[in-house]
Structure 1
Amino acid sequence: MEALNRYKAMRVVPFDVPGHKRGKGNRELTDFLGERCLTVDVNSMKPLDNLCHPVSVIKEAEALAADAFGARHAFFMVNGTTSAVQSMVMTACKRGEKIIMPRNVHRSAINALVLSGAVPVYVNPGMNRQLGISLGMSLDDVAQAIHENPDAKAVLINNPTYYGVCSNLKAITELAHRHGMLVLVDEAHGTHFYFSDKTPPSAMSVGADMAAVSMHKSGGSLTQSSLLLVNNQVSEGYVRQIINLTQTTSGSYLLISSLDISRRNLALRGEAIFQKVIDLAQYAREEINKIGGYYAFSKELINGDTIYDFDVTKLSIHTLDIGLAGIEVYDILRDDYDIQIEFGDIGNVLAYVSIGDRVLELERLVSALSEIKRRYAKDKTGMLSQEYIRPTVVLPPQEAFYAASEPVPLEQGLGRICSEFVMCYPPGIPILAPGEEITPAVLEYIQYAKEKGCFLTGTQDSAVNKVQIIKE
């Protein structure tokens, strides 16, 4: 940030890109985003360093971020946490090498397998049948996967899941390290874990090797900005090379500076900020549970294994008992009450509470949920509750993705092998991934999700009426 301010004060005449020349060439864009924003939308140059090979101000900013997050090194990522997750997997695994991971990973992790040719060893997460949500990985299941696949190179862990559920991160990390495997942690929803002792432990604090952290989610930076943290003996130089395979060479200084500014804010005030977030989420949780019919769940779910810990900032709300799917409540909140929440799935909604929220907005959410129950509640008979379906994996993702395929109507794909993704977004966890069989349970779930209004993505067919299956 300081380097950008110095640059602005120099009144340099720009004969470089971007072509809008500090906003003067695109008045409509400048009027919309503001001159202060456009004057720092600049290109890599000597005074501002280069994200692909930082040697000065970006290198210093990354060192400050590493210190704030307790890592040996931090990389600024401007292609989102998607790029950070892919870089972790591609650092740990080469083509044909195995990686142990939960199947309820974000699509970015499976995309990394398509790119790298690594082979997944899936650990099916636990399930809470009452809520219809997938949980964390059981320590015993991870131990079994390691026993059966001693040649695996790494274990990937969600910390937390979208719903706030955490596995036993420390024990899994120690177990993997005893078997010579790297530990990669998807902490897209765990930025705040580094700045509060009231939340579950962070990846770096338990000795994990790499972590992908979405600063733009709970950390307050601009959308698409993220951190990749590395620890232990992971080679900083090699990770940088992997990052540069897929990350843009034109790193946005708007995104880079937002990471720097947000890191400083959290380093100075993070503990107080996230105490406020915890208090707001707890207040809303208690008020929602008083309504009746809804269930805003929290630490009472902890079972010492598949729910080893719970992120109390997550305001996850089960809706099926009022006879409405989560996606239906999501749509009603937006369309009737002008309230945009993070996502709704088959049985739950997630209201993302973070550093910019106030009591007033949470009161409005609680009031809207109460009114929705009064106006729309119905008998829940016939509601589908299962959120996670155990996949039947036939081929590695890369092999399936690049195989010769053909489009068929969904129902005609039954029993065939899928060559693309099908998922509700958000949260972006695949219902089907390349190389998996289209089973009756998968087909029922997709058709039910479409009927309820979930936003389905991943298929070549934008209407998701057809799916690509591998030619026989």
Structure 2
Amino acid sequence: MKDKSYKLDQSAAPLLNAMSEYRKSRVVPFDVPGHKQGRGTPELTGFLGKQCLSVDVNSMKPLDNLSHPTSVIKEAEALAADAFGADDAFLIIGGTTAAVQAMIFSVCKRGDSIILPRNVHKSAINALILCGIIPIYVDPGIHPELGISLGMCADGVEAAIAAHPEAKAVFLNNPTYYGICTDVGRIARAAHRAGMALLADEAHGAHFYFGRGLPPAAMEAGADMSAVSMHKTGGSLTQSSLLLMRRGRVSPDYVRTIINLTQTTSASYLLMVSLDIARRALAMKGGETFARVTELAEYARGEINKIGGYYAFSREIIDGRHIFDFDVTKLSVNTLKTGLAGIEVYDLLRDDYGIQAEFGDMGNMLAIVSVGDDRYAIERLVASLSEIKRLHGRDGLKLLDHEYITPVVRMTPQEAFYAESEPVDVGETVGKISAEFVMCYPPGIPILAPGEEVTEEALDYILYAKEKGCLVMGPQDMELKKLYTVKRGE
């Protein structure tokens, strides 16, 4: 762990203990779920295991209720808040999407505006659609050689705050998918001076709270709320997350009310107990764990750079502005000098070498190195990349030179999404206003969002991404032959 002390006994795992007692009690279930501890679904039980199905349970008095926690879930949330240095923490079982949207809904209402980078995850823009919030975009900047979008420059955010004093909050990504970090502390101070809240999407930053030598975590840097994907780098089950908050600008009781607007009343205890277990492991051994993760990532980076053609970038790209810091656990690799697009390397790793990387885009691929990796896995990745270059490499490519498309906003996301729209051949959409999202997934950052004009730049990128094999998501037409645009006169 980072050099910090805890107020609570972090060796405790109240939800885990309660579920273990439930398993031993041999309760006869006449409640949901209907599989009745796996007895009614032998095929599912055989696949997932009896141990798993026996604790796939519904809320009951001994196990508390996520919508209104009073006992073991409440204790688990208090331990999470203590471990992460927050005043309050909420177990989220709808993924960090739910946590991001709860943050925004907690500080903004219909007609309010929020300052945010355009390279946000679609969950943030979806929140604007649902709540009728007005976006004020800050250009995150583009790295001229790597072609990746960067972090919000503090100077740019301060200028946006001065130009839009009516905004209720500033929202930022820290780190980005590629490991780029923003000056959260300076932006938090600027937001607070203007009476705004600072919200952080830390989907890829759970390890910041425990690893030594890593960029500062958002709660430590002064954020009011943070959404943390425990499942990404913290070791919990997929779809489990935490919403952290510091009191003062918003009430925890109100945040709970907001969460309960959309969160299921049948919360998964498998997801919740995984958060309890992962939190304990990070609090007790996080420092040791992430020291090993950092060493593995740095070793991999060095070995990949020895191959030639690939560029596994790190702290050397820090410029103090758009790149305030860098997460060295992110194994981000530029592939262009091998003559291969990032998505091509991504596909070859999976199809020919049995290696599933996190994602590939036009010029880069990302491999997540975290708590479950070892030296053998790293050696296999490095060897595979070397072989891919030998077999498939060619003269370096000159691809589209940017990953970020400057948006031309014509309508608010909510206005465009609910406006009358019509399908248009995608090649004929330039100049029209998109009524839907278009994005490559992962990472889920929109190329177009509802309310934005379809520019030639955006269309070129969309068609190129499709040609190169990126999974292009968002449009109703899953083959992306047509795109819904706002009808004229709207």
> Which structure 1 segments of 5+ residues have no match?
none
| Superposition map of 1:372-391 within 5 A | 372-391=388-407
Checking the alignment, whether the CA contact within 8 Å between 1:226 and 1:259 is kept in structure 2 is yes
Spell out, residue by residue over 1:113-136, the C-alpha distance to the aligned partner (whole angstroms, 9 max, x if none). Answer: 011111110001011010000000
- 1: CA distance between counterparts of 2:332 and 2:223? 27
266, 286, 295: which one pairs with 1:270? 286
239, 243, 246: which one pairs with 2:255? 239
**Residue in 2 that maps onto 1:291:** 307
Checking the alignment, whether the CA contact within 8 Å between 2:113 and 2:133 is kept in structure 1 is yes
**1:133 partner SS:** coil
- 1: CA distance between counterparts of 2:130 and 2:55? 33
Spell out, residue by residue over 1:296-343, the C-alpha distance to the aligned partner (whole angstroms, 9 max, x if none). Answer: 000000001100000000000000111111000000110111110000
**2:192 partner SS:** helix
- 2: CA distance between counterparts of 1:120 and 1:442? 19
Checking the alignment, whether the CA contact within 8 Å between 2:37 and 2:53 is kept in structure 1 is yes
- 2: CA distance between counterparts of 1:245 and 1:17? 22
| Superposition map of 1:369-448 within 5 A | 369-448=385-464
TM-score, with length taken from structure 2 = 0.96
Spell out, residue by residue over 1:74-131, the C-alpha distance to the aligned partner (whole angstroms, 9 max, x if none). Answer: 0000000000000001111000100000000000000010111111100010110100
Structure 1 residues 374-383 or 442-451, which shifts more?
374-383
Q: Give, as a single letter, the amino acid of the residue that structure 1 aligns with 2:312.
A: A
**Residue in 2 that maps onto 1:257:** 273
Checking the alignment, whether the CA contact within 8 Å between 2:141 and 2:151 is kept in structure 1 is yes
How far residue 5 of structure 1 moved from its aligned partner, in angstroms, is: 0.8
**1:419 partner SS:** coil
- 2: CA distance between counterparts of 1:254 and 1:381? 46
How far residue 287 of structure 1 moved from its aligned partner, in angstroms, is: 0.3
What do you get for the CA RMSD once the two structures are aligned? Answer: 0.7
- 2: CA distance between counterparts of 1:51 and 1:94? 25
Q: Give, as a single letter, the amino acid of the residue that structure 1 aligns with 2:179.
A: G
Identity %: 64
Q: Give, as a single letter, the amino acid of the residue that structure 1 aligns with 2:68.
A: H
1:224 matches 2:275: no
- 1: CA distance between counterparts of 2:422 and 2:381? 45
TM-score, with length taken from structure 1 = 0.99
**1:85 partner SS:** helix
1:10 matches 2:25: yes
- 2: CA distance between counterparts of 1:357 and 1:466? 42
**1:84 partner SS:** helix
**Residue in 2 that maps onto 1:350:** 366
Q: Give, as a single letter, the amino acid of the residue that structure 2 aligns with 1:269.
A: K
Q: Give every structure 1 segment of 4 or more consecutive aligned residues whose post-TM-superposition deviation is greater than 3 Å.
A: none
How far residue 381 of structure 1 moved from its aligned partner, in angstroms, is: 4.5
1:317 matches 2:333: yes
How far residue 218 of structure 1 moved from its aligned partner, in angstroms, is: 0.3
- 1: CA distance between counterparts of 2:439 and 2:293? 30
**Residue in 2 that maps onto 1:68:** 83
Checking the alignment, whether the CA contact within 8 Å between 1:207 and 1:232 is kept in structure 2 is no
Q: How many residues align?
A: 472
1:137 matches 2:152: yes
**2:400 partner SS:** coil
1:82 matches 2:97: yes
**Residue in 2 that maps onto 1:304:** 320
**Residue in 1 that maps onto 2:217:** 202
- 2: CA distance between counterparts of 1:109 and 1:366? 35
Checking the alignment, whether the CA contact within 8 Å between 2:293 and 2:371 is kept in structure 1 is yes
Q: Give, as a single letter, the amino acid of the residue that structure 2 aligns with 1:469.
A: T
Q: Give, as a single letter, the amino acid of the residue that structure 2 aligns with 1:331.
A: D
How far residue 386 of structure 1 moved from its aligned partner, in angstroms, is: 1.3
- 1: CA distance between counterparts of 2:228 and 2:317? 25
Q: Give, as a single letter, the amino acid of the residue that structure 1 aligns with 2:112.
A: E
Checking the alignment, whether the CA contact within 8 Å between 1:323 and 1:383 is kept in structure 2 is no
Q: Give, as a single letter, the amino acid of the residue that structure 2 aligns with 1:387.
A: E
**1:95 partner SS:** coil
How far residue 385 of structure 1 moved from its aligned partner, in angstroms, is: 2.9
1:450 matches 2:445: no
Spell out, residue by residue over 1:199-254, the C-alpha distance to the aligned partner (whole angstroms, 9 max, x if none). Answer: 10001101210000000000000000000001031211100011011111100000
- 1: CA distance between counterparts of 2:397 and 2:49? 52
**Residue in 1 that maps onto 2:115:** 100
How far residue 382 of structure 1 moved from its aligned partner, in angstroms, is: 4.5
- 2: CA distance between counterparts of 1:169 and 1:292? 35
Q: Give, as a single letter, the amino acid of the residue that structure 1 aligns with 2:313.
A: F
- 1: CA distance between counterparts of 2:397 and 2:279? 48
How far residue 412 of structure 1 moved from its aligned partner, in angstroms, is: 1.1
